[in-house]
Structure 1
C-alpha cells in the first residue's frame, strides 16, 4: 500500500512509497484512510525539526489528522464496516505514569507516550491502518470527509473544558470570549464558543479573504487591532497563535476571575518588554488564571464529534481551502494566501 513517509530529523526526506500492510498488533479494526489534514506539526516534521520513527525503524508514516472508513471490525467493538472514524493520536506510556494509569494520557507526566504520525508510532497517511476500538471515534456520516476536522476540534474542545473547569472554582457565567488567531484552531475555537452562546471576538492580522468572512458567518466579531481597543475584560481567552506579545496582551486584559487557555506553541528566541510586576498584581488581585493545554483525550474527541455534527456544513466546508491527492502531497505544503486548512486525499 502507499504511504507518505519521512525520516525524522532529516529535511527533504519525505516521499510517497510502498509500505507493508498495517501490522495486526496495531489493532483488529482495519480502516481505509480517506484523507488527512496538514498542520504546523506536520510541517515541522517534514522540515527536519521534529518527529521520532518507531523503534527499530528509520522512517515514520506521517499524518495525525485523519478521516477513514472501517473495512473490518470485530463483533462487539461498537464499529461496523462502512462507519466513518477518526483515529485518536496519543497512546498512554507503558509504565504507566499516574495520569496514564487512569486514562488521562493527554496529561502524561513522564513523556513516554507515543503519538501516531509524530512520536514512535506510524500515522494515518497510508491507504490503510489498523487500530484498537477504544482509539477510534465514530463520526456523523453526514460529515463525510469533513470529519478530518475532528482532531483539531478535539484540541479546542479540551481547551474549552479547561477554561470551564478552572472557571468553575467559583461561580462562573462567562459571556464574552476572545480567540487570538484565525487559523483552523482559532476558527474551531470560535465555533465552540458560539455554540456555548458566548459573544465571541476573533483577532488576526489579515484584513480580507476567507477568515473575516468565516468569523462573520458564525455570528462572531473579527478584529485586527489590539484586544483592549475592541473588548473590555473578556471572561475567557483562547490563545491559538503562540505569539508572545499576544499571549501577554491576553493576560493583561483579562476580566476578573477570567481564564486564559494557551494552545499555541511559541518558537522562543524573541524578547518582549513586559511589566511583570503589574501583570502579577492584576492576576493575583483579580483571581485570574492562565493554563496551557495540549493534545486531547477520548472524551474531547467525542465532544468534538458532537460539535461538528451540530455545525453548519457549508461553514465547515469553508475551512477546507484545498484538497490535493496523495501523489501531489508537496502541493499541500505550498502556502497560498487564502489557505485555512489543506487536506491530502489518500483514497483514490
Structure 2
C-alpha cells in the first residue's frame, strides 16, 4: 500500500511511499481508511519535536470501513463503518490499565507514532479499541472523533459544569472549538478566546452560536467581570498551551475556580503562578481520553449536540500530505483531513 511514513527521527524525513499492507492477526481488525485528520502532534513529529518509532505510518485521527477481521473477533464484520481509539499497545496489568486510564500506561504505544497509523490505505488495530459509527454520522465527521473524545474527557471527567456557570476556553483550534461546543451543551455560558490572528477560527465558532473574544482587542478580565458581576469565571480550559493564555485564565478565574489544562505546553513556561495559592485555584491536567469518551462523543454527534462538520475546513489526498501539513500549520483552518 501507499502511506505517509516517518522514515527516521529528527526534522523532516517524511515521504509518501510504498509500505507493507497490514494483516489482521488474532483479535485484530483491518480497516480501510476513509479520512484521517492532521493533528498538531503530526506537525511536531515533522519538526522533530515529538517522539516516534520510525519507520512508522503517521496519523491517529481517522475513520474507515472494516476490510477484514482476525481470528476471535466477534464484535465486527466486513463493511462496518468504524473509528478506533489510539492505544494500540498497553500492558493491561498496571494500575492505570486496570482503572481504565490506559493512556497513562508506561508501556503504551499509540497509533501514528508508536505503531503504524492511519495516513495510509489500511490500518490494523486491536478489537477492544474499535467503535462502530452510527449511520447518522458521516465518515468525514467521524474522523474528528479523536479530538472530540479528548474534549469530552476534559469537560466531563475534570469538571462539574452547571448551567449557571461561566466558562472561558482559550485556543480556537479543533480541541478548543469542541470543548466550547461540549460546554455549551450543558447550558453554561461559554466564551471562546483567541487573538486577532485567530479571527478565521473565531468566526466559525461564532456561526455555531458561541460567544468569542479577541483578547488583544479587549480586556478579557473586564469582560468576564462584567458578565459575572465581578466574581470571575467558574472554569477555564486552556487548549492553546500558550503561557499568555494560561496567565489570562488564572487572572479571569474566580477564587476557588478551576483551570483544566488541555493544551500541551513547552517544558518551561512563564505564568502568573502566584495566583494559584492566592485565589486557591485548582489546576487539573487532562490528557487524551477514556473508552467512555468515545461512546459519549458518538452519541453527541448522532444527536447533533455537537457539530463538527463546519470544523472540517480543508481536504487533501494522501499523496498531497505536505500541502495538507502546511495548511494545518496555518491559522486560517481548523481541521485538515487527508484521504486516499
TM-score per shorter chain, which class?
Answer: 0.7 to 0.9
Which position in structure 2 is the counterpart of 1:176? 166
Select the residue among 132, 142, 145 that pairs with 1:138.
132
Match runs of 1:126-275 below 5 Å = 126-144=120-138, 145-164=140-159, 167=160, 174-206=164-196, 209-225=199-215, 226-232=219-225, 233-272=232-271, 274=272
Q: What do you get for the CA RMSD once the two structures are aligned? A: 2.4
- Quick one: distance in 2 between partners of 1:3 and 1:256? 50
Select the residue among 63, 66, 69 that pairs with 2:62.
66
Match runs of 1:282-297 below 5 Å = 282-283=279-280, 288-297=281-290
Which position in structure 2 is the counterpart of 1:333? 325
Q: How many residues align?
A: 327
- Quick one: distance in 2 between partners of 1:289 and 1:92? 33
1:269 is displaced (CA, Å) by: 4.9
| Paired residues of 2:165 and 2:188 also in contact (CA < 8 A) | yes
Which digits, 9 at most, give the CA deviation of each residue in 1:60-112, with x for residues without a partner?
1100011111123478733233322112112463273211133321333xx32
When residues 210 and 308 of structure 1 are mapped into structure 2, their CA distance, relative to the original with a 3 A threshold, is: farther
Which position in structure 2 is the counterpart of 1:44? 44
1:49 is displaced (CA, Å) by: 2.0
| Paired residues of 2:221 and 2:251 also in contact (CA < 8 A) | no
- Quick one: distance in 2 between partners of 1:24 and 1:318? 34
1:302 partnered with 2:295: yes
When residues 222 and 5 of structure 1 are mapped into structure 2, their CA distance, relative to the original with a 3 A threshold, is: same
| Paired residues of 1:180 and 1:241 also in contact (CA < 8 A) | yes
| Paired residues of 1:163 and 1:259 also in contact (CA < 8 A) | no
Q: TM-score, normalised by structure 2?
A: 0.88
Which position in structure 1 is the counterpart of 2:87? 90
| Paired residues of 2:169 and 2:190 also in contact (CA < 8 A) | yes
When residues 206 and 141 of structure 1 are mapped into structure 2, their CA distance, relative to the original with a 3 A threshold, is: farther
1:104 partnered with 2:97: no
1:189 is displaced (CA, Å) by: 0.6
1:309 is displaced (CA, Å) by: 2.0
Which position in structure 2 is the counterpart of 1:116? 111
Using the TM superposition, name which of 59-68 and 173-182 deviates more.
173-182
1:123 is displaced (CA, Å) by: 1.0
1:337 is displaced (CA, Å) by: 4.9
1:8 is displaced (CA, Å) by: 4.3
Using the TM superposition, name which of 176-185 and 126-135 deviates more.
126-135
- Quick one: distance in 1 between partners of 2:237 and 2:8? 31
- Quick one: distance in 2 between partners of 1:101 and 1:338? 42
Which position in structure 1 is the counterpart of 2:75? 78
